[in-house]
Amino acid sequence: MIANSVSPLTEPAEVRRAPTVGGAMLYDASRAGNASVDLFDPGYWRTRHAASHARAGRGQALYVDDGVRHWVLRHYLRGGLFAALFGDRYFWNGEARTRPFREWRLLHELRAEGLPVPVPVAARYRKRGLIYRGDLITERIVAAQALSAWLDHGPVPAQVWRAVGACVRRFHDRGVWHADLNAHNIVVDAQGAVSLVDFDRGRRRAPGAWRAANLERLRRSLDKIDRGLPRGRFGASEWRLLVEAYGST
């Protein structure tokens, strides 16, 4: 579960778009160089002994570490009721609306605003008829574990619960809705700094009831995880710390 560093915000991005066979790539040349479609191929990294399985989550993910790059490569997969029917296939509605391009651009925007999210490296889609498939590469986050992993290891310090609440509030104040806010998509590094990951379907929204619903989604996630853990890992007192920090930010 240990991750690598998010690059400094001061490093300027060199955003480029390149056509590919059946689709296109969007990438930051300052991080991906002269990107090729090989970067999105798990087999390419496995033959170089640079790939390992990442945690379960939205889509299929690999950790890439070749000594220079410390990335997460995620192939988009449907969840819920559509998973069995459509798998990794999405209906085409224009390049700008493809999931990888939308997530890449949102991450790029949030990073520019100083919000703690992974650095977007590259995104691509492959289109065939009215169907497309997609992939996203982001940088990993230094010495960080998901909040769910912290819970699995033992009681989470009070300052971490407060930091989580304050972090979520920062995003909500900027009108950022995380479509799958749960304990797996909140990561905390060794110094207690909190980031949010996996912004598939995330978007900007006007202030409204979605904020409370977002928090309730997180609460359900924590309750579900807690049911499989020893007593005392998560409960009313921990949730109160998080909500108080959210409200006082």
| Average pLDDT for 193-197 | 97
| Average pLDDT for 37-43 | 96
State the pLDDT at residue 5: 40
pTM: 0.91
3-state secondary structure the chain: CCCCCCCCCCCCCCEEEEEECCEEEEEEHHHHCCCCHHHHCHHHHHCCCCEEECCCCCCEEEEEECCCCEEEEEECCCCHHHHHHHCCCEECCCHHHCHHHHHHHHHHHHHHCCCCCCCEEEEEEEEECCEEEEEEEEECCCCEEEHHHHHHHCCCCHHHHHHHHHHHHHHHHCCEECCCCCCCCEEEECCCCEEECCCCCCEECCCCCHHHHHHHHHHHHHHHHHCCCCCCCCCHHHHHHHHHHHHHC
CATH no. of 144-248: 1.10.510.10
State the pLDDT at residue 222: 98
Q: Would you place residue 54 in the very low, low, confident or very high pLDDT band (cuts 50, 70, 90)?
A: confident
Cα first-last separation, the chain: 29
pLDDT in tens, 220-248: 999 999 999 999 999 999 999 999 999 98
The residues annotated as belonging to the active site are: 180
User: Taking 80 as the threshold, does the pLDDT of residue 6 lie above it?
Assistant: no
Domain boundaries, the chain: 15-139, 144-248
Query: How far is the C-alpha of 63 from the C-alpha of 65, rounded, in Å?
Result: 7
Per the prediction, the chain carries an average pLDDT of 92
| Average pLDDT for 24-34 | 96
Q: Would you place residue 9 in the very low, low, confident or very high pLDDT band (cuts 50, 70, 90)?
A: very low
Q: Would you place residue 55 in the very low, low, confident or very high pLDDT band (cuts 50, 70, 90)?
A: low
- The two beta strands, 186-189 and 70-75, are unpaired
Query: How far is the C-alpha of 58 from the C-alpha of 74, rounded, in Å?
Result: 9
Percent of the chain residues topping a pLDDT of 90: 84
Q: Would you place residue 84 in the very low, low, confident or very high pLDDT band (cuts 50, 70, 90)?
A: confident
**Sequence-ordered list of residues with C-beta below 8 angstroms from that of 86, at least 6 positions apart, any chain:** 78
